[in-house]
Structure 1
Amino acid sequence: MTLNVLTPSRTAPSHDDSPWGPPPSRQRPRRDIYRLLNRLLVGLLVLVQVYPLLWLLMTSVRDERDFATGNPFGLPHSFTLDNFSRAFGVGNLWRYILNSIIVTAGADLLIVVCGMMGAYALTVLGFRLSGVVRGMFLLGVIVPVQVALVPLFIDYSKIGLLDTYQSMVIPLAGFSLPMSIYLFSSFFGYIPRETYEAASLDGAGPYRVFARITLPLSVNTVVTVVMVNSIFIWNDFIFANTFVLSENLKTIPLGLQNYIGAMGKTDWTATFAAVCVTVTPLLLVFLVLNKAMIYGLESGANKG
């Protein structure tokens, strides 16, 4: 007589109970879906950003009658460069571009110099209540530019700065300074303290440390600050419209008003040609310095 010993059967663990998660066969469809959604989102963002530029370019080389009688958002049925000649003939476009370059370069120079020196004093040198001072600078980000128009106009009229380049450069640099100090402070904090200590042990003072260490390492951050603020300064209208009184000092946004004729009649194709000419330089510079700008933002974000 034999006894049958019943042993409990081992059941294989299910994939759902596995500590390693679902099998790859189930993860792949999800990854493919997420990847497809990401590509669709990126494609939509690119379309939203690129389509206005393409439409601007197509309209600038489109015949005026074709634009008025046809579909303004459709493909052009004609090609002409007369719009650019009318754009330079209606307004003093070269003068507007030169004024914008002078204002943008002057404001960027002030922003970089003051922003770097201020961030260096707050982050690297350090002093009592430096955090409070940094916080006061950052409060300037939320201050609207409109609150300064009337006081600045009164002060400029008293000291004779109305209708000058300085009347636009000073407020543009001042309102851009808080964000610039934040970006520079974030990057300066990313530099190891040992580097500054080694330079101090070698006998380098604060000015020499700034010139030999901080400044060369901050090239990408300088490019980032310049590009971020140049877009705002190049397209500024409110300060130029408030403080500029003569035709010779008009910048591009203010000078484009000349393309609006009597009774509000606008030569749209010439206007788009003028806009295309004024947008192209800044766009080319942005495309060339795009990698340096992204690297500067990432370097500041790693520490800040």
Structure 2
Amino acid sequence: MSTPPLPGLSRERHTSPSAPNAVRRRPNVYRVLSRVLIAVLVVVQVYPLVWLFLSSVRTEQDFASANPFSLPTSFTLDHFARAFDHADLGRYILNSLIVTLGADALIVVCGLMGAYAIQVLGFRFSNAVRAMFLLGIVVPVQIALVPLFIDYAKVGLLDTYPSMMIPLAGFGLPMSLYLFSSFFGYIPRETYEAASLDGAGPYRIFARITLPLSVNTIVTVVMVNSIFIWNDFVFANTFVLSEGLKTIPVGLQNYIGAMGKTDWTATFAGVCVTVTPLLLVFLVLNKAMIYGLESGATKG
């Protein structure tokens, strides 16, 4: 004699096929909307670069007569040679490279050590010190120009590489310290305790554990700050007085001729030459940068 199925079981059998479908429909809508949003952001970010490269290879007549935003009808590479003739573009690239590497080195060293002392070692009022560093994010760059110019003139730092590196590193340090300290909070405390039980001191723990684990975060900090340092105009234009120390943004002013006339095609070619190295480095290291941002934002 067979027993009738329980009402609860029969209800589950009837409702179970529809439940997964309802669950599946919702993520599909979110996924489509997210992909559309990502596509729009990609177009907004990539289109200016594509337009820049296309404008650098079109002839002057084509750029002046046709719609500047239309596809080029004729191509030439003469603008790149003229870009080097208008100014010492190679020197500007070298100066920007020196300033970027020097400021990045200061940011990484100070950010790593500061975050290690605040987050890992810990001390009294460490949270207050972290808050004071983070206040530097809201400080405008412009208010530091006049005091720094006066101080540099007194100590003889005007028209030198350090006059650009020091303020760039100072304004890039707060966010970098926050990224490093957030990542250090992600490392389990048991790892440090085990190293301490084995007799490792704070310097050895930093060199053997913290520093190797922070490679991706270092790449992230370097790339994020390099973009702003490479494109800096304010500090270079204020503290650099000689032609031989001009960086790329300041040196591109030499493409402005008499009566304010600008050689736009040569300017676009010069910008392409200066942007390409940074763009290639970013494309090579983008995975490490994304991982560093994700790991640095896990705990805060």
User: So what's the TM-score if we normalise by structure 2?
Assistant: 0.92
* Distance (whole Å) between structure 2 residues aligned to residue 39 and residue 296 of structure 1: 23
Give the corresponding residue for 1:248: 244
Q: Secondary structure at the match of 1:62?
A: coil
Match of 2:77 among 67, 81, 84: 81
* Distance (whole Å) between structure 2 residues aligned to residue 118 and residue 285 of structure 1: 27
Q: Secondary structure at the match of 1:161?
A: coil
Give the corresponding residue for 2:234: 238
* Distance (whole Å) between structure 1 residues aligned to residue 85 and residue 277 of structure 2: 20
Q: Secondary structure at the match of 2:67?
A: coil
Structure-to-structure mapping, 1:149-298, within 5 angstroms: 149-298=145-294
Q: Secondary structure at the match of 2:297?
A: helix
* Distance (whole Å) between structure 1 residues aligned to residue 274 and residue 11 of structure 2: 65
Query: 5+ unaligned residues in a row in structure 1: which ranges?
Result: 1-9
* Distance (whole Å) between structure 2 residues aligned to residue 39 and residue 149 of structure 1: 43
Q: Secondary structure at the match of 2:68?
A: coil
Cα offset, 1:172, TM superposition:
0.3
**Does residue 1:111 correspond to 2:122, yes or no?**
no
Give the corresponding residue for 2:49: 53
Match of 1:72 among 47, 55, 68: 68
**Does residue 1:129 correspond to 2:132, yes or no?**
no
**Per the alignment, do residues 32 and 302 of structure 1 end up closer, same or farther by CA in structure 2, a change over 3 Å counting?**
closer
Cα offset, 1:24, TM superposition:
5.2
Counterpart of 2:152 in structure 1: which amino acid? Y
* Distance (whole Å) between structure 1 residues aligned to residue 35 and residue 119 of structure 2: 40
RMSD of aligned residue pairs (Cα, Å)? 2.0
Counterpart of 1:176 in structure 2: which amino acid? G
Cα offset, 1:112, TM superposition:
0.4
**Per the alignment, do residues 21 and 175 of structure 1 end up closer, same or farther by CA in structure 2, a change over 3 Å counting?**
farther
Give the corresponding residue for 2:296: 300
Q: Secondary structure at the match of 1:194?
A: helix
Cα offset, 1:157, TM superposition:
0.4
**Per the alignment, do residues 196 and 30 of structure 1 end up closer, same or farther by CA in structure 2, a change over 3 Å counting?**
closer
- Identity value in percent: 77
Q: Secondary structure at the match of 1:103?
A: helix
* Distance (whole Å) between structure 2 residues aligned to residue 31 and residue 206 of structure 1: 47
Cα offset, 1:44, TM superposition:
1.2
Q: Count residues with an aligned counterpart.
A: 292
- For residues 255-297 of structure 1, the C-alpha deviation after alignment (integer angstroms, 9 at most, x for no partner) is 0111111111011110000000111010110010000001011
- Once structures 1 and 2 are overlaid, which stretch shifts more, 175-184 or 41-50? 41-50
Query: 5+ unaligned residues in a row in structure 2: which ranges?
Result: 1-6
Give the corresponding residue for 2:3: none
* Distance (whole Å) between structure 1 residues aligned to residue 62 and residue 263 of structure 2: 13
**Does residue 1:145 correspond to 2:132, yes or no?**
no
- For residues 194-219 of structure 1, the C-alpha deviation after alignment (integer angstroms, 9 at most, x for no partner) is 11111111111111111111111100
Give the corresponding residue for 1:6: none
Counterpart of 1:35 in structure 2: which amino acid? R
